């Protein structure tokens, strides 16, 4: 096993790269997920172990992001909390005539960026160039996972 220090943002990204990620609103597949590739059963097992730790970290990050949304956001039309980067400007009839930056967005964005820049050491299994060759073709761009590949 190996160790690497990643930012919390990179940890979120790595979890998406390993497990896959689908946009909830559209159903668009952003990452199919490295675990779905043609890997040895041992590497899959070790990546599942890593995945469990990454999901724990991602859950903590999501909880803290939600706290920031509560602090800076608004109740949306569905009764949930959200914060939008832009606010719509409407005329007297309710027609949208433009957008302006949400005055609370910059502070939210700043605090969230500080959170995501925090670093954490993780332990990960050996991943080799040969493992990547065996995985086959994929459209995914494994930006953080490639940092873990043994050279």
Give the pLDDT confidence score for residue 132 in this predicted structure. 86
Give the pLDDT confidence score for residue 24 in this predicted structure. 82
- The HSE-up count of residue 14 (CA atoms within 13 Å, CB side) is 29
Within 8 A by CB and 6+ apart from 39, the residues are 47, 131, 134, 135
Instruction: Give CA–CA dist 40/72, Å, rounded.
Output: 46
- The answer to whether 69 touches 108, Cβ cutoff 8 Å, is yes
pLDDT tens for 27-66 read: 888 888 999 988 999 999 999 999 999 999 999 999 999 9
Instruction: Give CA–CA dist 11/33, Å, rounded.
Output: 14
Instruction: Give CA–CA dist 149/89, Å, rounded.
Output: 49
Give the pLDDT confidence score for residue 136 in this predicted structure. 75
Give the pLDDT confidence score for residue 94 in this predicted structure. 85
**Banded model confidence at residue 80, pLDDT cuts 50, 70, 90:** confident
Question: Element (H or E) spanning 65, and its range?
Answer: helix 41-72
How far from 35 is each of 24, 47, 63, 81, 117, CA to CA, in Å? 20, 7, 25, 33, 26
Burial of 148 (0-12, 13-18, 19+ CB in 10 A): buried
- The answer to whether 66 touches 81, Cβ cutoff 8 Å, is yes
Give the pLDDT confidence score for residue 28 in this predicted structure. 86
Give the pLDDT confidence score for residue 151 in this predicted structure. 78
Give the pLDDT confidence score for residue 141 in this predicted structure. 86
**Banded model confidence at residue 131, pLDDT cuts 50, 70, 90:** confident
């Amino acid at each position: 096993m190996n160790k690497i220090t990643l930012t919390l943002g990179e940890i979120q990204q790595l979890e998406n790269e390993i497990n896959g990620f689908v946009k909830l609103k559209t159903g668009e597949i952003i990452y199919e997920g490295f675990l779905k590739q043609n890997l040895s059963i041992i590497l899959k097992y070790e990546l599942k172990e890593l995945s469990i730790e990454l999901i724990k970290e991602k859950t903590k990050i999501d909880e803290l992001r939600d706290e920031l949304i509560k602090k800076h956001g608004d109740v949306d039309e569905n009764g949930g909390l959200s914060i939008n980067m832009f606010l719509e400007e409407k005329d007297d009839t309710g027609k949208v005539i433009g957008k302006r930056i949400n005055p609370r967005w910059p502070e939210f964005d700043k605090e969230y960026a500080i959170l995501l820049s925090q670093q954490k050491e993780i332990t990960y299994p050996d991943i080799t160039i040969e493992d990547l060759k065996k995985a086959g073709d994929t459209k995914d761009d494994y930006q953080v996972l490639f940092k873990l590949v043994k050279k």
